[in-house]
Structures are given as C-alpha cells and as structure tokens.
Chain A
C-alpha cells in the first residue's frame, strides 16, 4: 500500500494530467500569437477565444457521443457522412419544401426530422453491429460510404444555398449560427454526457461492457441494448452537428464533413479515452477537442499553410497519447 500522501499526490497529478496538453497549447498560443493594432495579444482576446469554441462546436458535440461509443468498445466512422446528410436534409426541408405553415413550424419539423433520421442511422449501425456481430469499424465504414451516397443522390450532388429571402432557411441559419447558442448546446451536452457516464447505471454498464464483454455477459448486463444506444446517441449528435454546420455555412452541401470522423476520433483519443474500450472521460474529450481547436486557431493566426497544419496535428495526436501512456504505472505482482 502506498502512503496516503503519495496517493493524494498521484491523484492530483491524475486530475491535472488531461489539462497539461491544453495548458501547453495555450502557452504556445500566447507566445506565437501575432500582435493586434494596439499591441494586444490577438490570441487571448475574448473574441478569438470564443471563436475557438464556435469553430470546434461541431467536432465537440460529436466527440462527446463518440466518447460513449468508444468506451463501450466501438467506433463510429459514419459521423462525417451523417453530418453532411443532416445538413443537406435541412437544406431540402427549409429551401425546397414549401409547406403551408409559417417558418416556425417548418424549422421545428426540420430539426425534428433531422435528429430522428440521424438517430435512425445510428440505430441501424447499432442493430447490425450487435445482432449480426459485424465489427463496428466495418459496419460504420459501410455506413460512412452508404450515407454519403444517399446524401449525394438525394440532393443531386448540388449545394442547397439557404439564400437570404426565404424566411425559413434564413431564420434557421441566423438562429443556429449564433455563437452563444452553439457554445451552450455543446456545454449542456458535455455536462449531460459527463453525468451519464459518471453517475448513471447506463454509464457504468457502458464501461463494463467496453472493458470485459464476457464478464458483462456473466453479470447479465444488457450488452446489446447498451451498445446500440451509443450508436443512436452518436447518430443524433452527428445530426445535431449537421444542423449547426448547415446554419453556419448557410447551405446544405452534400460534400461537406469529409474526414470529420477523424477529427472527432482524434479529439477523443487526445482526451485519453482508450480505443480498446472501458476507459475514458468526457472532461478529457472536451480538453482534447479544445487542444485541436486552439492549435488550429494559432496556426491560422500565424497564417501557416493549412498543409503544415495537418502535419502539426499529427504530431500533437502522437505526443498527447504518448504523454498519457508514459506514466501509467505498472500493476503490482
């Protein structure tokens, strides 16, 4: 047994560890930031910092749900395609659809339909993975390809511009692209996901199923239901991110969201969630999302070539995961 003092120090280090990367990236940001007109550091201006939250909102919301999927031992590669599908569906329902009602009900119906269909795609993923025992990677890879195809087919592979005269689409776009709303949606979902994982029976079951499926079976846990639910949540989250994406880009573009799933998974992994399942935290994922966001922001403030940005990102992923791995103490005996 280690002395209580040692353990407290250890747990303090444990608590700070997820933030070390973020703190380092923030310091880097301050150092590298260009100066404003009056000599202020652009990076730490309130406008810039909240811009980071705004820019990471879509990835952040999906990463929360992805954390649940990964903890339960799965992965969802289809989120980028579901995002594009949702944005495009929103475009069709807001621009091409002309119901007799006012913009209010039309927007409500659009939001509802998008979320339900996103969840439905997740349900299909989950059902096939748990019932037909397909590997999550394979199934969601198929969904990624299939949903992308569906989206292009559905839109005739054209952008649906929201315009500025159409009441419904313009109102929608104005509403869902507001900074406070996006940040609030992210924050509320982060708190909710954290509560689910840390304090509910369902959260406990997810960790158990992800850590040892055999033992979960011997314990009588609802393995299929728990797993399937993570994909449903992930599909709905991707749909929500799609709504935000459509509003912010003022269009429904069937070719958007390509490779978003990789950013989402990167955020989750940087946040310390093990791809092998069983372990991970929402706090870590939020931190991981912010690390990626701050990094992108700083590099863009410095006008760094976006190709270089990708290379830096790659290094950050490796370093972040290695940092978490390094001081994992060996188990006794």
Chain B
C-alpha cells in the first residue's frame, strides 16, 4: 500500500537525538537515547506504556526539556525554549491527550498557534474557514469548519488535530497513538494522509501500540523499553513477534481459548431499544457470555452503554435484566440492578486523577465500607487491594494519586472500581484503547475471568482482531441500528466490517 521509503537525500537525517536523558522526580523517563528520523520515512516508536515513547516525542517537539543530550534538526543543534518555537521550526506533534479546545470552532482549533494563520490581528471567520478548509479536507474531517469542537466525536477530534499539524507545513511530525480513537474507516483516511506526506519528504514518527498498523505503514521500527532505546530495524528485517519480544522481553501467548458461555439464563435482553442515537437494537446476553460490540464512528456503541446505564433517555423498546423488566432511570438505579459501565474516556469520564488509587477504586460502592457514617479505612483498603489484584493493576502505594500510574494501570484501576460493585452485567467501552500490549492481555484475561464467574460482559473495541478473538459473539452496529450478531468462531474481520459499513449481507 505505502511504498518503501525513498532513498534518503544527501541532507542526512531530518531529526537526530544524541544521548537524550530525562527524569521526572525520581522516575527515569529517558536514558541516553540515540535516535534519528530520516526525511520521507515513517518511523515507528514502539514500547509498553512508560517505555519513554511519549517523552521522546514531547522532548523533540519542545514540550519537555531534556536533562541532558542534544537534538539536531537538519544537522543544526537546537534547544527549544518551548513548543511554540519547535512548531515554528517545522515540528508538529499530535498528542495522545488531544490539546484542543472544546469551546472553539473546528477552524479556530486548526488555526491556533499557527503563525501563518494567526498573522492577522483581526480574525475574519470566513477567511479563516477558507484557509483551513484544504487541511480539513486532507485530514478527512467531515464537520463544518464553524462547528464547535465540543459537539464532535472523539474520532473527529483526532482528525482535527491532524488537520492542525497539516496546516503547519511541518517537516517532522510526531503522531502519538493517532488511531487510538479512530475507527477503521478513519484510520484508512489517516494512512492515505501519511502516504501523501511521506511522498512530500516529511519525516513522520509514529507512536503506536497497534502492530498491524505499524507493519503496514512504517519503514523502520524503533523499540523502547524502560526509557532506553532497545534497537531500530527496517520493517523487512523484523517481525511482529520479534518487536513484541523486544518490547516486553517475554513471548506473548496466542489466541485465547474462551470457556463456552453458560448456555441457559439470559442476564440481559434488549428488544427494539431506541434512544436519540439508537434505532431498535435487540440482543440477548446469557450469563457467562462475552458479547463484543463492533461499529464505526457514530455507530452508537458508546450510546448503547449509556442507555443501559441510564445516562441517556430511552425512547422506546424494552429491557429485561435477570428476567425482570428494567427501565433505566439513572446511574444509581443501574448500579442497584447490578450494571457496571467502564467508560471510554478514562481521564474525562472515569477517573479522579488527583484522588488516590484506593479512593478511585472504592468510590462507586463506598457505603459498604462504613460504620455509623465513617469509612473504615482497613476494610476499604482491603477491598480495594483485592479488586486491584483481580484487575492485575500494578502500583506501589494505594494512597498515591491515580495520575502517577501509567495509562494501562489507570485503566485497570477503573476496571477494579467496577468489579468492586459485583456487577451481573458489565459494559466495557473500549477498555484497551491506548494501553500497552501487556495491559491489553491482562484486560482480555480479566474479561474472560469475569465471564467464567457468570457475569454477562458487553465490550467495545475498535480493533477487530482482539474483539473477535475475545468474544463469544459480535453485535455489529451501524448508525445506531443493529446489523446482525455473528458467532465469533465464524466471524472474520471482513464479515464484521461489511456489516459495520452498512453493506450487510443478511
């Protein structure tokens, strides 16, 4: 699809780092990293969360300052005073936590910090919209330039962030997990953009956990572990297994053998469930069954979870929970009825970043650990530890703020929080998004363990292979409507994708 990198011009690397080191407090983030990026290449940065990929990208883009070491841009040593200077020198970065502004319009978000587009003291919106339109088109942003960003989906945010970097005419672009919030069709559009940039000689550093993508678009692959650069290889000279081995230092097991669902009892059944964004969704979920939910942007995957959890009004249809009628009225009611929802955006909707790991874990069911209104510290801590262990979260001290953990472990804290409520039905909305390979594997294991205990599990993932491999059945949604339920043993990525794109062969 994407041609191998053209031979590098005489100019040498677009960007070269020598002996870069960085510490945050006592934590080593980077240790003597040597790395270079050639013009016209797509260069993957791989590694588990906390390996130092994001830190390296942030330092190169002037967001963080290295403790020692130097960076050369086109052969010239640079020391950024800040990201603004780096941007003016032609380095663009698309951050994992998108640095966009929800209250501003799409066009304004693209133009912010862009010297060319901000040159005028007075802004004329039509002129601005006109100026950013080509970049929006190139990035595949479907929304109107005048739309307020806050009204758009996470996927559109990501594309806007890409349009913003495109507008900078950057020579070096860092993409930190650019596809983590994208569905497959948007990913394809991104890859097309990458191919065009590459042809123009732009150097692209691609930080990702998704091996299939890396091996599709990248020319070279650098692996990091514990802040160190383990090695760089050409794509042709390595394999997915080899890269993963370098990342984790241990072999990864293959496809999970799921225990069969306990055939009998339905724990949740939906008949023609409708909301503002869902149109007549019906399905049955048995105890011990894992139902994967697939769908593209605006398919209603997350909406389904919110509807079940009473966070969005149900306009039609019926629900039965453990054989009894269920009418979602609000989250407390959903909790009482044994539902749990692990939200998609863990920073925004899930976690209290400055509260401790323990407090985050017990918040949904704190009343249980009280006597006469006072929290019993020992009981609370014991319960938190038990669930954190079940979710295989790794942490030092449960009194530390949850923001001190890596993304994967934050996700596990969030899962532990809902395990604590002993749900009968658990809805996990994209739980593997943006977490490392090891943490993903832990998540699959946890989902299987939950099901083995008799919990009915609904889960969403944007990565079809993992969804198919770790579910009994797949419910495919398209624009809020159910396209079909596939048995995962018979499902293929192609068959799911056909339904998800609305070309159902039913």
Contacts and interface: CB of A to CB of B under 8 A. Distances in A.
A213 to B, nearest CB: 10
B403 interface: yes
B126 interface: no
A278 B352 CA distance: 9
Nearest to B369: A201
B374 A331 contact: no
Interface stretch (A217-225, A249-257, A264-272): A217-225
B1 interface: no
B24 A199 contact: no
Given A200-B375, A204-B366, A333-B55, A278 B27 contact: no
B30 to A, nearest CB: 11
A212 B353 CA distance: 8
Given A201-B373, A331-B24, A1 B396 contact: yes
B351 A200 contact: no
A330 B355 contact: no
Contacts of A207: 352, 355, 359
A240 B379 CA distance: 37
B364 A211 contact: no
B103 to A, nearest CB: 15
Contacts of A279: 354
B280 interface: no
Nearest to B54: A333
Contact of B341 (A199, A216, A218): A218
Interface string B354-392: 110001000110110010011100000000000000000
Interface string A188-214: 000000010001111011011001101
B237 interface: no
Interface string B316-351: 000000000000001110110000010100001111
B351 A215 contact: yes
A208 B352 contact: yes
B25 A211 contact: no
Contacts of B406: 333
B353 A211 contact: yes
Interface residues of A, number: 32
A329 B25 contact: yes
Interface string B141-152: 000000000000
A47 interface: no
Contacts of A3: 26
Contacts of B335: 220
Nearest to A278: B354
Nearest to B336: A220
A215 B350 contact: yes
Interface in B293-314: 309, 311
Contacts of B373: 200-202
A199 B373 CA distance: 8
Contacts of B309: 218
B363 A2 contact: no
- Among A2, A202, A211, A215, the one with the most B-chain Cβ atoms within 10 Å of its Cβ is A215
A156 interface: no
A68 to B, nearest CB: 16
B352 A220 contact: no
A211 B354 contact: yes
A179 to B, nearest CB: 32
B355 A201 contact: no
Interface residues of B, number: 40
B404 interface: yes
A14 to B, nearest CB: 12
A332 B405 CA distance: 8
Contacts of A208: 352, 355, 359, 363
A102 interface: no
Nearest to B23: A332
A331 B341 contact: no
A208 B360 CA distance: 9
B349 A214 contact: yes
B404 A199 contact: no
B50 interface: yes
A35 to B, nearest CB: 48
Contacts of B367: 201
Contact of B330 (A1, A199, A220): A220
Nearest to B370: A201
A332 B25 contact: yes
A207 B311 CA distance: 22
Given A219-B331, A333-B55, A204 B25 contact: no
A329 to B, nearest CB: 5
B54 A204 contact: no
A170 to B, nearest CB: 40
A202 B363 CA distance: 11
Given A204-B366, A219-B363, A1 B348 contact: no
A204 B359 contact: yes
Contacts of B330: 220
Given A208-B363, A214-B348, A200 B374 contact: yes
A200 B352 CA distance: 17
B54 A218 contact: no
A6 interface: yes
A196 to B, nearest CB: 9
A205 B309 CA distance: 20
B29 interface: yes
A214 B311 CA distance: 11
Contacts of A218: 309, 311, 331, 341, 343, 349-350
A329 B25 CA distance: 7
A234 B271 CA distance: 48
A211 B24 contact: no
A217 B24 CA distance: 33
Contacts of B352: 207-208, 211-212, 215-216, 278
Contacts of A211: 352-355
Task: Tell me which of A212, A216, A279 has the highest count of chain B C-beta atoms within 10 A of its own C-beta.
Answer: A212
Interface centre among A195, A212, A279, A332 (most CB of B within 10 A): A332
Nearest to A219: B364
A217 B311 contact: yes
B87 to A, nearest CB: 21
A104 B350 CA distance: 54
A333 B29 contact: yes
B374 A204 contact: no
B47 to A, nearest CB: 12
Nearest to A202: B373
Contacts of B54: 333
Nearest to A222: B332
B25 A2 contact: yes
Contacts of B55: 333
Interface string A277-292: 0110000000000000
5 contacts: A1-B27, A205-B366, A208-B352, A331-B404, A333-B55
> What are the 7 tightest A-B residue pairs by CB atom distance, in nearest-first order?
A220-B331, A2-B26, A332-B24, A332-B27, A220-B332, A211-B352, A201-B366
Given A211-B352, A212-B352, A220-B335, 10 more contacts: A1-B27, A2-B25, A199-B375, A200-B374, A204-B366, A208-B352, A212-B353, A218-B343, A219-B417, A332-B404
